[in-house]
Structure 1
Amino acid sequence: MTASTTPRPTAARSRLAAVGAIAVAGALLLTGCGDQTKKSGGDRASSSKAPLHDKLPQRIQDAGVVKVGSDIAYPPVEFKKEGTTVGLDPDIAAAIGKQLGVEFQFNNATFDTLLAGLRSKRYDVAMSAMTDNKDRQTGVDPDTKKKVGEGVDFVDYFSAGVSIYTPKGKTQGIKGWDDLCGKKIVVQRGTVSHDKAKDQSKKCGSNPIKIEAFDDDVQAQTRLRGGGADAGSSDFPVAAYAVKTSGGGKDFEMVGDQIQAAPYGMALSKDQTQLRDAIKAGLDAIIKNGEYQKILDKWGVSAGALKEAKVNGGAGA
Structure 2
Amino acid sequence: MSTIPRTTAARSRIAAVGALAVAGALVLTGCGDQTKKDGGGGSAQASGTAGGGALHDKLPQQIRDKGVLTVGSDIAYAPVEFTDKSGRTAGMDPDLGAALGKQLGVKVQFENGTFDSLVTGLRAKRYDMIMSAMTDTKDRQNGVEDGKKVGAGVDFVDYYSAGVSIYTQKGKTQGINGWGDLCGKTIVLERGTVSEDLAKSEAKKCPAGKPLKIEPFDTDQQAQVRLRSGGADAGSSDSPIAAYAVKTSGGGKDFQLVGKTVQAAPYGIAVTKGDTRLTQALGGALDAIIKNGEYRKILEKWGAQDGAVTSATINGGS
Offset of residue 272 of structure 1? 1.5
Q: Which runs of 5+ in 1 are unaligned?
A: none
Q: What is the aligned-residue RMSD (CA, Å)?
A: 1.9
- 1:238-276 CA distances to partner (integer Å, 9 max, x unpaired)? 000000000000000000110011000000001321011
Q: Relative to structure 1, is the Cα distance of residues 47 and 98 closer, same or farther in structure 2, using a 3 angstrom cutoff? A: closer
Q: Which runs of 5+ in 2 are unaligned?
A: 36-43
Give, in whole Å, the separation in 1 of the partners of 2:309 and 2:315: 14
CA contact (8 A) 1:67 1:105 kept: yes
Q: Relative to structure 1, is the Cα distance of residues 108 and 91 closer, same or farther in structure 2, using a 3 angstrom cutoff? A: same
Paired residue for 1:121, among 111, 115, 125?
A: 125
Paired residue for 2:152, among 147, 150, 153?
A: 150
Offset of residue 166 of structure 1? 0.4
Aligned 1:201-216 pairs, distance under 5 A: 201-206=203-208, 207-216=210-219
Could you tell me which residue of structure 1 aligns to residue 96 of structure 2? 92
Paired residue for 2:8, among 5, 8, 11?
A: 5
Give, in whole Å, the separation in 2 of the partners of 1:37 and 1:190: 30
CA contact (8 A) 2:187 2:235 kept: yes
Aligned 1:9-88 pairs, distance under 5 A: 9=11, 11=12, 13-18=13-18, 20-32=19-31, 33-34=33-34, 47=50, 49-50=52-53, 52-81=55-84, 82-88=86-92
Offset of residue 28 of structure 1? 3.4
Tell me whether 1:239 sits opposite 2:234 in the alignment. Answer: no
Letter in 1 for 2:15: R
CA contact (8 A) 1:243 1:252 kept: yes
Paired residue for 1:133, among 129, 133, 137?
A: 137
CA contact (8 A) 2:26 2:111 kept: yes
Paired residue for 1:182, among 165, 184, 199?
A: 184
- 1:130-150 CA distances to partner (integer Å, 9 max, x unpaired)? 000000001111x2x121112
Q: Relative to structure 1, is the Cα distance of residues 183 and 104 closer, same or farther in structure 2, using a 3 angstrom cutoff? A: same
Offset of residue 83 of structure 1? 1.6
Could you tell me which residue of structure 2 aligns to residue 280 of structure 1? 283
Offset of residue 24 of structure 1? 2.6
Q: Relative to structure 1, is the Cα distance of residues 63 and 247 closer, same or farther in structure 2, using a 3 angstrom cutoff? A: same
Give, in whole Å, the separation in 1 of the partners of 2:22 and 2:142: 33
CA contact (8 A) 2:170 2:256 kept: yes
Identity among equivalent pairs (%): 61
Offset of residue 107 of structure 1? 0.2
CA contact (8 A) 2:186 2:213 kept: yes
Could you tell me which residue of structure 1 aligns to residue 313 of structure 2? 310
CA contact (8 A) 2:166 2:178 kept: yes
Q: Relative to structure 1, is the Cα distance of residues 156 and 37 closer, same or farther in structure 2, using a 3 angstrom cutoff? A: closer
Tell me whether 1:170 sits opposite 2:172 in the alignment. Answer: yes
Q: Equivalent residue of 2:148, what SS?
A: coil
Give, in whole Å, the separation in 1 of the partners of 2:60 and 2:302: 31
Q: Relative to structure 1, is the Cα distance of residues 71 and 47 closer, same or farther in structure 2, using a 3 angstrom cutoff? A: same
